[in-house]
Chain A
Amino acid sequence: MENRPGVLARVSSCLARRGFNIHSLAVGPTIDPGLSRITVVVESEKLEQVKKQLHKLINVIRIFELEPSKAVERETMLIRVAAIGNARTEAIEVANIFKATVVDVGYNSLTFEVTGRPAKLNDLIELLRPFGVVELVKSGRIAIGRAPKSKPSRMRAVG
């Protein structure tokens, strides 16, 4: 969509207006400074209608439907757990398995950063829960369609 003030409000307002629940929404600029990209996760039997209604927004340029099986999905999470003494080492061991890194240490807490598929993040939350989760922030899901795995039969010129 066009990178203009208020576009995010238009998209979320349109979804709310048509009664579609937003599970996750992430927005950021693209390689073209005039354009930004929203990744929105909605659960709906009327996905076609969602797309058509969003397409009516003048500032929306293209809509891609990314099926989970044909896309790389990622989410980043910051999670702070209560951890003093031995618990610290235990929490770090669990986090290491998930390639989570410690980004902040307090006198009674540890904060991890982890990126991955939504399921992986949820698993880590479950394993850290016994320590006591003090705070948790998720970035919202972003995704990119998977590139073709074989050479197309006819190469097209790329401009």
Chain B
Amino acid sequence: MLASRKPTTMTTITGSQSVISSLEHEGVDLIFGIPGGAILPAYDPLYSSPIRHILARHEQGAGHMAAGYAWATGRVGVCVATSGPGATNLVTPLADALMDSVPMVAITGQVPTHAVGNDAFQEAYTVGITMPTTKHNYFVTDPDDIPTVIHQAFHLASSGRPGPVLVDLPKDVLNQETEWHPPQDLDLPGYKPTLDGHPRRVKEAVEMLAASRRPVLYVGGGIIKSEASEALTRFAEITNIPVVTTLMGRGAIPDSHPLCLGMPGMHGNYTAITSMQKCDVLAAFGVRFDDRVTGDPNHFAVDAKIIHADVDPAEIGKVRTADIPIVADARRVLTQMIKAWGDRSPVANQEWWETIREWQTKYPLSYDQQPDGPIKPQFVIDELARVTGGDAILVAGVGQHQMWASQFWNFDRPRRWINSGGLGTMGFAVPAAIGAKAGMSDELVYAVDGDGCFQMTFQELITAAAHGIPVKVAVFNNGAHGMVKQWQKLFYGGRLSASLLNSEVVDYVKLAEGMGCIGLRAEAPEEVGPILEKSLTIDDRPVVVEMVVDPDEMVFPMVPAGGSNDNVILGPEPAD
């Protein structure tokens, strides 16, 4: 908690000071933003506040930084932008945070209330534009409302199913006189998340699992958000049920745990995908049956009875009807399940485990790194794990590199894997890594990025260099939007329409150095380990490591979009 600078009650202050005092009251120590005309009044009291401000180079960067901070720390990430283009540049990070349930508060300036609706300079209808990309948003017309609105914003962002909340503040409201008073009553009659599972449903779920022979626990981001890892691991252990962790739930149970089968879905491993397809009871916690996990929902786990627990009732039954629906917070319901399981024996699933172990032996993840061949991107992930001992927060953008990172890194605990899942926001990695590192300065934060992604947001490395946030970024240079290219090769007859990036144009080492970072490059497999080791020795500025990887490498296994999860393509050669 920060030293409180909030004025004593009944002292007259400006709306701006009230905003800053409210943020301090919420325990905010770090915000990411860019000033501009309409939000300028709020930046004045910030100048003398203990809150640290990171000056992003683009509002999208500020938004993803707030998300990265929230992912890594579990706290609410805060970003600030001015009206008009400042606010519209936040739309992507807000939509990203909504899809991935990231707790975030965005503060935006707005033109003065008398000018609202007049197409004033830098006016945009921020509340209207962000209505479908936020959990909730506010347009403040009275400075006296500021403490309550900001308190509500933080409560909404961090409770129930977390998400982004935006507070739009007209300039005259920021300039007006008001009083700061500690917020009292939340007064949200339409917002009462159900946190405890219905005891009868919990009992039914336990009985269904106890009677099952081929059960699977399907867990995701909800486990991370509700800090349910311990309860999940305990429940899996007392029941002996295998666990698959979705892209959002990687690290919910350690990958090294014998009960963990790894990632299912479009680029999941064969065992995780197939165990779900063949199971008799699928117990889902904090997941939403996303199309990237289920493939064609009509052919997904057709023989399975479904137990679905989620804090958001709208997710239950949205894609797949649940036989046992449970509206609850993941940690609480898993704790209830442990208690309800009591001293029962583990599930009688020895045959199931034998089958699973056979699949694991027969269909492991693999790649072929030739000593004199091009660098395989998977090899980079393995080498990075080796040189860091796995002790890093790994951040990824979207595409092939993201899938390889998720497949080949062994996640040992939650909040060590940060990426854009639901929205699939390319360019997420660099700013998110900066936010994570700013929030967790003692941790090694390593971003793995594609060249396509990197070119969308690399300018934020200037932010990192300027603020002394020594993130490291491994750029997988395959000279292409790799996943697009992969689809074109597989499904469009190899017609590489607009997917090549002309990699000969960019010198990543010089680019890095031009932004105040160290630039390194590896072009052959034997250089990968030493270059990564060298990157670990630099801690006074950001490091960009260009990995010139095999441009033809593709991500496998793969279930083509909309296809059945029964048809896993294991590799470039036809499956046996």
Mark A residues whose CB is within 8 Å of B: 1-2, 5-6, 9-10, 13-14, 17, 48-49, 52-53, 55-61
A2 close to B314 (CB less than 8 A) = no
A144 → chain B closest CB, angstroms: 21
A113 → chain B closest CB, angstroms: 34
Residues in A with CB closer than 8 Å to B139 are 5-6
B314 close to A61 (CB less than 8 A) = no
B128 close to A2 (CB less than 8 A) = no
Interface-facing stretch out of B66-74, B187-195, B237-245, B350-358:
B187-195
**8 Å CB contacts to A: which residues of B75-108?**
none
A58 close to B190 (CB less than 8 A) = yes
Indicate whether B312 reaches chain A with its CB closer than 8 angstroms. yes
Residues in B with CB closer than 8 Å to A55 are 313-314
Q: Among A58, A59, A60, find the residue whose CB has the most chain B CB atoms closer than 10 A.
A: A58
B150 → chain A closest CB, angstroms: 15
Closest to B316 in A: A52
Residues in A with CB closer than 8 Å to B312 are 56
**Cα separation A6 to B140 with both chains bound (whole Å):** 12
B126 → chain A closest CB, angstroms: 12
A24 → chain B closest CB, angstroms: 22
**Cα separation A52 to B312 with both chains bound (whole Å):** 9
B interface bracket (residues with beta carbon within 8 Å of A): 10 to 19
A48 close to B131 (CB less than 8 A) = no
Residues in B with CB closer than 8 Å to A57 are 136, 190
Q: Among B127, B191, B314, find the residue whose CB has the most chain A CB atoms closer than 10 A.
A: B314
B128 close to A9 (CB less than 8 A) = yes
A61 close to B132 (CB less than 8 A) = no
Indicate whether B373 reaches chain A with its CB closer than 8 angstroms. no
Additional A-B contact list (4), CB under 8 Å, known A49-B314, A56-B312, A57-B136? A1-B190, A13-B132, A58-B135, A60-B190
Indicate whether B318 reaches chain A with its CB closer than 8 angstroms. yes
**Cα separation A58 to B186 with both chains bound (whole Å):** 12
Indicate whether B156 reaches chain A with its CB closer than 8 angstroms. yes
Residues in A with CB closer than 8 Å to B188 are 58
Indicate whether B317 reaches chain A with its CB closer than 8 angstroms. yes
Residues in B with CB closer than 8 Å to A5 are 139
Q: Considering the complex of A and B, which 10 residue pairs feature the smallest CB-CB distances, nearest first?
A: A52-B314, A61-B190, A58-B136, A58-B191, A60-B190, A17-B132, A61-B189, A13-B131, A52-B313, A53-B314
Closest to B189 in A: A61
Say yes or no: A6-B314 contact (C-beta < 8 A), given A1-B190, A17-B132, A57-B190: no
Closest to B161 in A: A56
**Cα separation A6 to B318 with both chains bound (whole Å):** 27
**Cα separation A49 to B136 with both chains bound (whole Å):** 19
Residues in A with CB closer than 8 Å to B132 are 13-14, 17
A32 → chain B closest CB, angstroms: 11
**Cα separation A55 to B313 with both chains bound (whole Å):** 9
Q: Specify which of A9, A17, A49, A59 is in contact with B190 (CB 8 Å cutoff).
A: A59
Residues in B with CB closer than 8 Å to A56 are 135, 312, 314
B131 close to A49 (CB less than 8 A) = no
Residues in B with CB closer than 8 Å to A9 are 128, 131
B127 close to A49 (CB less than 8 A) = no
A-B contact pairs, 8 of them (CB 8 A): A9-B128, A17-B132, A48-B317, A55-B314, A56-B314, A58-B135, A58-B188, A61-B189
